[in-house]
Amino acid sequence: MPSPIAKITAELFGTFWLVFGGCGTAIFAAKEVAVGDDTGTRIQVGVGYLGVALAFGLTVVTMAYALGHISGGHFNPAITLGACVGGRTPWRDLPGYWVAQIVGGLLAGLALWGIATGKPGWTREGNMAANGYAEHSPGHYTLAAVIVAEILLTAFFLIVVLGATDIRAPKGMGALAIGFTLMLIHLISIPISNTSVNPARSTGVAFFNGNGAPGQLWVFWVAPLVGGIIGGLLYPLLFEDGRFKFMPVQNTV
């Protein structure tokens, strides 16, 4: 049985990797301008939305395999809350997990900001992969649209997480199911909100980004946490005969 310190450390490292890998791809690789030929034509190259979505999925897959057997591989306050509601994680673990996840996200944001400032002419405002609504949404979606999307997608994310780690689920496939789900979530919602479904991911870059992101951060706590509660309630009600007591789960590997 892993110690509480080992669990907290695993959540910190895993959340750092999720924010650094996913947001880092959005910051450094999603868009890049290059000179195309001798005429000086400038072309835009980069991995785009698909590459960013894949990066977020890969961060979860890799850390779930590396650390999921230690802490459960949440790396997300909404997942931890939903797992507690659904009877998969003891409530006593929630405060330590949340602190570790927030610290991991902020350390990743600091590292990304530090690296990005090494590019001449780079400015942080609007360029740190922050989440937002209205004028700060990539597609200028309204606050209401962002809230609905974040709640719905987080709830489904929780259902996949609880289902993939159910002791009745196929062994060794949980990390892949969870990673692919996060990738799909990003493909849907990057244009809507730049995709949060994770308050630690949003917090990790909001204050380094500025430009309205800190003022809108509340949405990316409230909506994912509500979605986490919904998912945490629905899975036991629909698929575990309403059992909310603590139940053992299988490792994701």
User: Which tens digits make up the pLDDT trace of 77-114?
Assistant: 999 999 999 999 999 999 999 999 999 999 999 999 99
pLDDT tier for residue 45 given thresholds of 50, 70 and 90: confident
Is pLDDT above 70 for 43?
Answer: no
Is pLDDT above 60 for 63?
Answer: yes
Mean predicted lDDT score pLDDT of the chain: 93
Q: What percent of the chain has pLDDT over 90?
A: 85
Rounded CA separation 86/158 (Å): 9
Angle at 74 between CA 200 and CA 220, to 5 degrees: 30
Contact criterion met (CB below 8 Å) for 108 and 59:
no
pLDDT tier for residue 53 given thresholds of 50, 70 and 90: very high
DSSP code at position 36: -
Closest-CA residue to 8 (of 81, 75, 106) = 75
pLDDT tier for residue 188 given thresholds of 50, 70 and 90: very high
181 or 167: whose pLDDT is higher? 181
Closest-CA residue to 130 (of 58, 46, 216) = 216
Q: What are phi and psi of 32, to 5 degrees?
A: -150, 135
What is the rounded average pLDDT of the residues 177-200?
98
How buried is 247 (Cβ within 10 angstroms: 0-12 exposed, 13-18 middle, 19+ buried)?
middle
pLDDT number for residue 31: 80
**Chain segment 120-149, per-residue pLDDT in tens:** 999 999 999 999 999 999 999 999 999 999
Residue-range domains of the chain with CATH:
4-238 (1.20.1080.10)
**Helix %, strand %, coil % for the chain, to 5?**
65, 5, 30
What is the rounded average pLDDT of the residues 196-224?
97
pLDDT tier for residue 36 given thresholds of 50, 70 and 90: low
**Chain segment 216-252, per-residue pLDDT in tens:** 999 999 999 999 999 999 999 999 877 766 665 655 5
Closest-CA residue to 151 (of 85, 216, 78, 213) = 78
pLDDT number for residue 35: 55
Is pLDDT above 70 for 34?
Answer: no
Helix (H) or strand (E) holding 207: helix 199-209
